[in-house]
Every structure is written in structure tokens, then in C-alpha cells.
């Protein structure tokens, strides 16, 4: 049996087992080399309430797996000389001009704000060291939402972007709305919406015809339903990302696994699309997949809003850094993923990895809250392990 066939069979077995055991309602999983998709499989149903079968072209809200696409456009602008990563980001995104640091709350519950010691740069935004957070991972942001009416970032409103910094830029790593601000930087430079910039620069060159901030009617008909796990039981919900006032570079895309595999393949293929089109220069790809955090490390994400996220950390105890814009495991992972590979995830339990050393990567897509759902993330890690086992045999 060829290794490609072995990988395909292994992925299909994991997906089918995860559905048959009741772990997830449905899943689409895929694996690509630098040359082609070698596995794309669907199992289960799109919704527990309306059991249409999950199909390989099912559409998902991909949440934070949007970030790497936004980062790709930012890197293109660096290549063109239009973006200085070390300049104050407000030069491109004027909305950052008045940003303040929150040092806590006064006796009356009002936020205590001060000027930052330095201005956030686009590099810091890409690395999540600028100071922005998420309310589902940070107690100060959660309190701002609960007591001050700060809109959730998933509302995709201008007001949702207008949050304070949690610390002086460059001093800590905190996962948050930083890449949404990178989207604003891109809009300021290109003079277009983020969606238009993405379409022209990434989606069209890669043939990603089922990826958009605003789903087409065809995409909407194929969309998987969001599910909520409560006390171990899954139920379908009516959650849907709203029509965006601001196209959020950190979470807003709808896409398919097949489309995302084309994006992963570009990173595996040194920045080239399937037809040879250069999306990123090889030296940019090489640099982007290196640690840019210095001595800072990626830390555990505490589930501050239990309905949206559990506590989340990949490979606890293993040092992890950050590139442009994904996590880097600094040691070999127990799945078989080598040190130096990159990966990340989306809030509704979507996961990917990109292993440039072995020229292989994959994507696992479900629609389940809260994040770091043991069944879905467990299935993803089983899939990744099965892929590396198949490659060894």
C-alpha cells in the first residue's frame, strides 16, 4: 500500500470512529503534501437537528484559523516595502492612536487607564505581544464585557475592536484581538477592505473559491451547524457569525477544509500556489515559521467563559513560541510532529498543522463550543498521530 493511501485510510478511520463513538456530530478532515491533497474525508452529519450528511465541501466558520491568511497578506505588504513591521501600527491603522493600558478597576468598578510606555507595532500585533486579549481568555476583558458593555469580538463591530491593552507593548505574550488590528493595518495600506485584499492576494491565487467573510448562497446551503456541549451533551444551536461591520482578520472567515488545504500547501511549497504563482517568497516563508518571540513563550489559555472555552494548551509542559502567525512547537510532539512545525486552531474546535520538514500538513474541522473540547481536539490529535504512524510504516 502506498503511503498516501495509508494516510487517507488512517484519517478516514479516525474521523469515522470519532463520529460513531458519539464524540462529534460531524467532521471534515484532510491532509496535504506540498504537491497535492492526499486525504479529504467527511463523517457524520452537519447538524444533530437536521441530519444532512457532512460532506467534504461543507462550509465552516473557521474562527482563528483565519489569522494565518491575514498574516500572509501582511507579509506580502512587507515584501513590497509598503509595511514596516517596526513602525507604530497607528501609522496605518489610525484607530490605534488613542489606545490605553488597563491597570485594573477602581473602587467604583471603572477601568483604570494610562498611556502605554510605547506604541504597539504591527510586528507586536502579529506576535500577540501588543497587549490585546479576548474576553473568553482574560478576566479583565470579561469584566469589561460584563460590567462596561464591551461588545464581544465575534460581534465584528468597530466598538468590539476598541479595547484597552493589558500591558505595555512587547513585554508579554497574550492571545487576543491583535490580528483583527492587523486587518485594519492592511486596509489602511491597500485602501480596500480586508476581504478584497485577501481575495486578490491569497484566495484567488490559491483557488480558494469557498472562502469569504460573507458566504455565497451556495456556501450557506452547505454550512455546518454550530453545536454546544453542556455537561457532556451536544446540542445544535443557531449561532452564526453576524454580517460584519468590520472584516476581522483574526476570526471572520467562512471556508472549507479543501480550501484551507490549498493554503497549507502553499506554506509547504515555499510560498507557491499549485500553478506556480508566487504568493510569498521562499525567504519570507522561512522567516515567518521561525520564533519571533525571543525569550517569551506561548502560555496556557484559561477558559474564562466556560461556554466558549475550556482551559487550553497544546502539549502541556512543552516550550512553544510564535511566528507570523502561528504557534511553533520547539520540541518534537508526541503525535510525531517534529520540532519547528507550526500550527494553530479556531474557537469552534478547528485545528491545523504545517510540517515543512516532512512536507505534510492537515486540518480538522468541527463546529463545537467550547474550545479545546476533549472529544474534538482528541480526534484531531489522533488524526495527526495516525498520519505520522502511516508515514513510518
- Active centre residues (catalytic): 64, 67, 175
C-alpha cell at 337: 510532529
List the beta bridge partners of residue 104. Answer: 112
Cα of 272 vs its chain's centroid, Å? 21
CB 180 within 8 A of CB 129: no
- Please count the residues of the chain: 393
Q: Please return the burial class of 233, using the count of CB atoms within 10 Å of its CB with bins 0-12, 13-18 and 19+.
A: exposed
CA 194 vs CA 83, 133, 244, 249: distances in Å: 15, 21, 11, 7
**Residue pair 205/279 in contact by the 8 Å Cβ criterion:** yes
Helix (H) or strand (E) holding 6: helix 3-20
In whole angstroms, what is the distance from residue 307 CA to residue 152 CA?
Answer: 14
- Is residue 233 helix, strand or coil? strand
Amino acid at each position: 500500500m502506498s503511503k498516501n493511501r495509508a494516510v487517507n485510510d488512517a484519517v478516514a478511520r479516525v474521523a469515522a470512529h470519532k463520529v460513531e463513538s458519539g464524540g462529534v456530530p460531524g467532521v471534515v478532515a484532510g491532509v496535504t503534501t506540498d504537491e497535492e491533497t492526499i486525504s479529504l474525508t467527511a463523517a457524520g452529519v452537519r447538524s444533530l437537528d437536521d441530519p444532512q450528511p457532512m460532506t467534504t465541501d461543507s462550509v465552516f466558520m473557521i474562527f482563528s484559523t483565519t489569522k494565518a491568511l491575514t498574516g500572509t497578506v501582511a507579509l506580502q505588504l512587507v515584501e513590497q516595502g509598503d509595511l514596516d513591521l517596526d513602525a507604530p501600527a497607528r501609522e496605518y491603522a489610525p484607530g490605534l492612536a488613542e489606545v490605553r493600558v488597563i491597570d485594573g478597576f477602581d473602587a467604583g468598578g471603572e477601568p483604570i487607564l494610562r498611556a502605554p510606555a510605547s506604541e504597539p507595532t504591527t510586528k507586536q500585533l502579529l506576535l500577540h505581544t501588543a497587549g490585546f486579549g479576548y474576553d473568553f481568555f482574560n478576566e479583565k476583558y470579561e469584566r469589561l464585557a460584563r460590567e462596561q458593555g464591551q461588545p464581544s469580538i465575534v460581534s465584528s463591530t468597530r466598538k468590539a475592536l476598541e479595547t484597552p491593552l493589558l500591558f505595555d507593548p512587547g513585554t508579554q505574550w497574550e492571545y487576543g484581538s491583535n490580528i483583527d488590528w492587523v486587518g485594519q493595518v492592511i486596509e489602511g495600506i491597500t485602501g480596500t477592505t480586508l476581504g478584497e485584499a485577501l481575495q486578490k492576494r491569497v484566495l484567488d491565487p490559491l483557488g480558494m473559491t469557498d472562502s469569504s467573510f460573507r458566504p455565497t448562497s451556495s456556501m450557506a446551503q452547505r454550512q455546518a451547524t454550530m453545536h454546544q456541549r453542556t455537561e457532556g451533551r451536544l446540542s445544535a444551536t443557531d449561532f452564526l457569525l453576524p454580517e460584519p461591520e468590520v472584516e476581522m482578520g483574526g476570526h471572520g472567515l467562512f471556508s472549507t477544509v479543501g480550501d484551507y488545504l490549498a493554503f497549507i500547501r502553499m506554506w509547504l511549497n515555499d510560498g507557491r500556489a499549485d500553478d506556480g504563482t508566487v504568493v510569498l517568497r521562499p525567504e519570507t516563508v522561512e522567516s515567518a515559521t521561525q520564533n519571533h518571540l525571543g525569550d517569551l513563550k506561548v502560555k496556557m489559555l484559561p477558559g474564562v467563559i466556560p461556554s466558549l472555552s475550556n482551559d487550553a494548551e497544546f502539549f502541556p509542559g512543552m516550550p512553544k513560541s510564535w511566528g507570523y502567525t502561528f504557534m511553533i512547537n520547539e520540541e518534537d510532539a508526541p503525535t510525531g510532529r517534529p520540532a519547528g512545525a507550526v500550527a494553530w486552531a479556531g474557537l469552534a474546535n478547528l485545528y491545523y498543522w504545517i510540517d515543512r520538514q516532512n512536507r505534510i500538513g492537515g486540518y480538522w474541522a468541527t463546529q463545537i463550543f467550547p474550545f479545546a473540547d476533549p472529544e474534538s481536539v482528541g480526534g484531531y490529535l489522533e488524526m495527526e498521530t495516525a498520519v505520522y504512524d502511516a508515514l513510518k510504516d
